[in-house]
Structure 1
Amino acid sequence: MNAKASTTAQKLLNLYRQEHVIFGGWAAVNQVFVNESTPEILRELRELPTGKNLAKHIENLRSGKTPMDSIDHELLPYGGMMTETVATVPLTPDEWRELESGLNEFTTDQEGLNRIQQLNVIKKFGDQWLVAIRAALGARPDLMDTWTIVMKTYRAYYLWKVANDILEQPLSERARAQLQADMPEYETYLPMFGDAGTELLEKLRSFITTMKPVDTDAAPDAQTKA
C-alpha cells in the first residue's frame, strides 16, 4: 500500500461525504476529484467503505458521462438521503423572515453560531440544518453570501474542537492517517483564528510526528469571509 495514495484517497472520500456543506457543491469538489485522482488512488478508493461509488463517479467525470457540476443519483453519498430530505421541506413566510433576521444579526463567533442554531427555522431540520438551509436559499440567492459565512464559521469552530480533542490523547496509527488526510481542511480553517489558529495548526503538524498529547486552548473568534 502506498501511504501517500492512501492518504489522498481518504481525503477525496472525505470531500465526497462532506459535499453538502462545501460551498460550490459538486462543481467545486468534482474539480478536485479529477485533478488529484490517479490510477493508484482509484485503486485505494475501491478498498475503502463507499469508495467504489466515488471511484465510479470520478470515472464518469473523466469520460464526460457526468457533467462537472453534477453526480449520478445512484452514486450520491448516503444513498442520496441528504439531497432528498431537504428538497421536500419548504420554508414558510414566517420562517423566511426569521432566517433573514437571524442572518442579518449573525456574528462570526461562538455566540453568533449559538443564536443561529436556536432559530426555529434551523432547529426544524435537526442535524441537516446546514444542507437544508443552503438548499432552501436557492429561492433567496441574495442571502447566500451571509449563509456561506455561517457555514465557514461553523466549520472553523467544529475543526477547532476536533483538533483540540485529537491533541489531548495519544494518537493511533489509524487516527494519524486520518489526521494527515484531513490536514488540508485544518490548513484552510484554523488560520481564521489568527495567531492562535496558526499555533494550533503547528501543534497538529508536530503531533503527526510525535503522536504525544499536548496542551490546548479555548477557541478565539474566527475571522471568516464570504
Structure 2
Amino acid sequence: MLKRFTSLITKVAFFASLATVGSSVNAAVISFTDEASFSLSTSDSVLDTFNDLISFADGGDTLSSPLTRIIDSGSYDVDIDGIGVFIGSQSIAPSGEEYISNESVVDTITISNISGLPTYALGGFLFGSNLTPIAANLTATIFDLDGLATSLSLSCDLNPANCFFGFTSSVAIERLELSGDTNFIGLDDLRFANAAVVSAPASFYIVVLGAIALVLRRYKA
C-alpha cells in the first residue's frame, strides 16, 4: 500500500511540474504600447526624466557618447553610434521637460551597461523629433541575457505622449536599441523596473487538486 501511495504522489509532482513549466514558457516577453498597463505589470520602477540636463538643452548642446547616467543607486550608458547625444528642449517632451535624441537620423540609440537598476522591465516615450514633433515609424528592441531579441514597432503621431513603449521579460534585459526611419528619435521618461510577480494560473491549481483527489480516492480503495 505504501509503495502504491508513493507512486501516486510522484505522479502529482510530475503533473504539477508540467503546469508550472507551461506557464513560464508562455510569459517570456510581453510588449506594451500603453503606459498604464505597463505600470500595472511592473514594480520597483526607477525613472530617468533627463530633467537635470536643462542647461545643455537651453544651449542646444550635444554631449559626448557614450553618456553615463546615474539615477537612484544605479547607472546605465546611452550610446548613439559613438557620435554624440543631443539634448532636446522642453517644448515637445511628454513630461514637459528635457529629452535625449540622436544627432543624425541614421544613428541608433543604445541603452546598455545597466548596473544597480531593475532589469526585468524597460519602458518610456519614443517619438519623432526635429525640435517640433514629427510623425514617425520607430522601433524599440530589447536584448535579454539569453540572447533573445524582441522588437516593437511604433507609428508615432504628432503627440509624443501617445507613443509609449514598454517590455517585461522573465530574463534580465541586457540592452535596449531604438531606431527610426528618416527622422530624429526623441526619448523621454525612460524607466527601469521589475516585472510584477504573476501568480500561478488557474490551470495549475486544477491539475494539482485533481491529482490530489485521485490519490485520496485510490488510497482509500
Q: Which has the larger radius of gyration?
A: 2
TM-score calculated relative to the size of structure 1: 0.21
Q: Which has the higher helix share?
A: 1
TM-score calculated relative to the size of structure 2: 0.21
Q: Which has the higher strand share?
A: 2
